[in-house]
Structure 1
Amino acid sequence: MARIDWLRIFYHVSFWVVYLFLNTWLGSLFNRIDLNKAFINEASVIPVKILLTYFVFYRIIPLYLDRDKLWKLIGLTSAAFVVAILLYRMTTEWILFPITNPSRNVAFFNWKGIYLIAFDLFITVAAATTIKMIRVHYKSLEFEQELMREKLQSELNFLRAQMNPHFLFNTLNNLYGLARKKSDHTADAILMLSKIMRFMLYDCRAPRIAVADEARVIRDYIELEKLRYNERLRVQYEEHIEPPGGFIAPLLLLPFVENSFKHGAGGTTGTVEISIRLTLKDSILDFEVHNTVDAEPALPRAEGIGLKNVHRQLELIYPDRHELFTGRENGSFRAHLKVHLERN
């Protein structure tokens, strides 16, 4: 059994009640008659207007969407107005006037009267249809926006789903290197990896996390990488988060750090210097990563999955609210991100 939409019924009844009293007032004003008589005049013909309006809504407007039925649309509209004019005329001549003005004698097919009736019906249908089409338009916009939100959310979920295997793959390679060396730090590295994976699996489900939490996982990742590279790795990490902090989409910053170790420490043979600075002040996040690199390669290196992923997430989550630079600069690779976060 179909559910009754009482709110919709209420809106329709409210429209016709307002229309009745507004037209009563206008009829009294322009025809110079008292309100009681104007109300009786309008109440007697409003059923015809209601019938015509809903016929237009549910029989004629749907034809407008089908261009192949143009002639049927024109014919049905014309027929509906002819029938409505006849019903209107019959109501006034055979029911209303005998009660309110018995002495009045007007020909049934009075062209001036028919013109005024047609105009009255047209104004009524036009007003109701305009309101309906505006409502349909806004509902269509809401539907499109909802589809867009769902599409963006699906894309974000896909991007985040890509991040976890990508990160795990790179980190397992690091653990493999430690295991090959039979390093005493292998167990500690596995423990740190489990902490990071727990963060990714559980904390990153929320659309936003505290910047302090993202900073904590960055520190854990730095400690994990230090176990692998020992003395040849020099890391400088600075963190300044102004109270009360802020919230950011999860895993936006970690890929830059991961990239610096992969292409800095992992891509060079000598001493590697990595500098990481994270600042949050007045809801503006400033994040910068520098790492030393070897000489410019003969062929440009394609951007990895991680950074491509972050680029797309920034476009989706912070459109027109972020600035990002990545590239070689004075013998090092530099990534600089500035994001205007939502205020708490």
Structure 2
Amino acid sequence: MKKWVKILLHAVFWFYIFAWHNVIGAFFTPDSWRGASYYFDPLSISQYILFPCTFYFNYFFILPVFYKTNQIAKAWIAWIVLLLAFIGVRYLFQEVLFLKWFGIKNYSDDTTIGYYIYDNIYFGGLLIVMSVLFWIIDDNIKSQKEKYLLLEEKKSAELAFLKNQVNPHFIFNTLNNIYALVSSKSDKALPSIEKLSHLMRYMYKDSDAEQVSLQREIEYINSFIELQIIRLSNKESVQYNFEGNLTNQTIAPLLLIPFIENMFKHGVLNNIEKPLQIKITVSNNNLSLLTTNYINKNSKDNSSGIGLNNVRKRLALLYPEHILTIQQDENIYQCNLQLNLDKK
């Protein structure tokens, strides 16, 4: 709750307690107006002090110290003591001392002690109950805000950690490929290094944003696929198809690439009869990614697929309504990802 809203609510409450009936009533029954002096006599001034003291003693001390820490029994004892103190102090000043000092008192002479206590249980109890309600509302709003901030911090920290895992994973794999090209003195080595420099610029500059344009992400995927194809002897063994219109859609950066990288890492390469198949479809703000590859049973890389594990977590955090279907048999591995880019 914003500070000015809290102050306004408290001000409205005290206006109701001290002036509502007289000020508002005067608009309808002018004869009921007691005059401005009524609000500055000793009885009224004493209430301006006693009532807020009771309210805020409960608000700032009893509730945070006892109620907040789940010491309910001590809180009830403190409320009873506070109520008795309210009645006793009010009686001492308004019925004893003010009569002696100013010749005035709040209650008539025929008021019994029993009725006085009963009547002030209402006033003191109202102050305590209302301070409890105000405090609970304020505390709940603070708690919700703190939970939200903690979740956001946790989410940001986890996403940063996951993305930092994805980037080195990709770089190390690509450097290994380029190393092989350099070792064989292939003409493809220099173009591969140039492609990698463009990709790294995107990863470490543009991908720092929470969202990037989908067009930029698709361009990154295109460059990645071209970089991988450079090292293949048969380019037709990779079938890549993009369908749809790129307008102003946005997406979390580096979200799709682990699925495609996984194909080149674990799939059969340079085989036209067993191609790597990649299809991306964009329709308005709906995105579909379908990847299919034959499993390379002779792959020397037996890692558990850290890239896909990370992207699962990122999808759960960023796009909780996503649909990810992974099908695998003895020979074929297929991923089908459905995203609604609006529902983040």
TM-score band w.r.t. shorter chain: 0.7 to 0.9
Q: Where do 1:187-202 residues align within 5 Å? A: 187-202=190-205
Aligned to 2:311: 310
Q: Is the 8 A contact 1:226 1:233 kept in 2?
A: no
Distance in 1, matches of 2:314 and 2:35, equals 67
Partner of 2:336: 336
Contact 1:45-1:92 within 8 A present in 2 as well: no
- 1:24 and 1:193, CA in 2 relative to 1: closer, same or farther beyond 3 A? same
Please tell me the root mean square deviation across aligned C-alpha atoms, in Å: 3.4
What is the 5 A alignment of 1:196-235?
196-231=199-234, 233-235=236-238
1:161 maps onto 2:164 in alignment:
yes
Please report how far the alpha carbon of residue 110 of structure 1 lies from its aligned counterpart in structure 2 after TM superposition.
Answer: 1.6
Partner of 1:79: 81
After TM superposition, give the deviation of residue 332 of structure 1 in Å: 2.7
5+ unaligned residues in a row in structure 2: which ranges? none
Give CA deviations for 1:72-126 in whole Å, capped at 9, x if unaligned.
x454433322221022224443549955889x4235x620121111111101221
Paired residue for 1:135, among 138, 145, 150? Answer: 138
List aligned pairs for 1:207-286, cutoff 5 A.
207-231=210-234, 233-265=236-268, 272-286=274-288
Aligned pair in 2 of structure 1 residues 226, 76: CA closer, same or farther (>3 Å)? Answer: closer
Q: CA deviation at 1:66?
A: 4.2
The answer (yes or no) to whether the contact 1:246–1:343 under 8 Å persists in 2 is no
**What letter is aligned with 1:342?**
D
- Quote the offset at 1:15 in angstroms: 3.3
Cα pair distance change 1:304/1:101, threshold 3 Å: closer
Q: Deviations over 1:180-235 (max 9, x none)?
A: 22101100000001100111000100001111111111111111111111216522
Q: After superposition, where does 1:22-37 map in structure 2 within 5 Å?
A: 22=20, 24=22, 34-36=32-34
1:214-270, CA deviations, whole angstroms, 9 ceiling, x for partnerless residues? 11111111111111112165222222232524111001111111111111145x878
- 2:116 is matched with 113
Q: Which amino acid aligns with 1:307?
A: L
> Match for residue 45 of structure 1?
47
Cα deviation for residue 12 of structure 1 reads: 3.6
Distance 1:323 1:58, change over 3 A: same
Which of 163, 185, 188 matches 1:185? Answer: 188
What's the CA shift string for 1:41-64, capped at 9, x where partnerless?
766534221111111122222123
Q: Aligned partners of 1:89, 1:13: CA distance in 2, in Å? A: 26
Contact 2:214 2:248 in 1 (8 A): yes
| Structure-2 separation of matches of 1:257 and 1:205 | 21
| CA gap 1:265/1:177 in 2 versus in 1, 3 angstroms | farther
Distance change in 2, residues 1:67/1:134 (3 Å):
closer
Unmatched segments (≥5 aa) in structure 1: none
Cross-structure match for 1:89: 91
The CA distance in 2 between the partners of 1:250 and 1:202, in whole Å, is 11
Distance 2:11 2:33 in 1: 21
- 1:245 touches 1:280 (CA, 8 Å); kept in 2? no
Identity of aligned residues (%): 29
- After superposition, the C-alpha distances for 1:15-49 in whole angstroms (9 at most, x for unaligned) are 32243233557999xxxx93538975766534221
TM-score (norm 2): 0.83
* TM-score normalised by structure 1 residue count: 0.83
Amino acid at match of 1:21: A
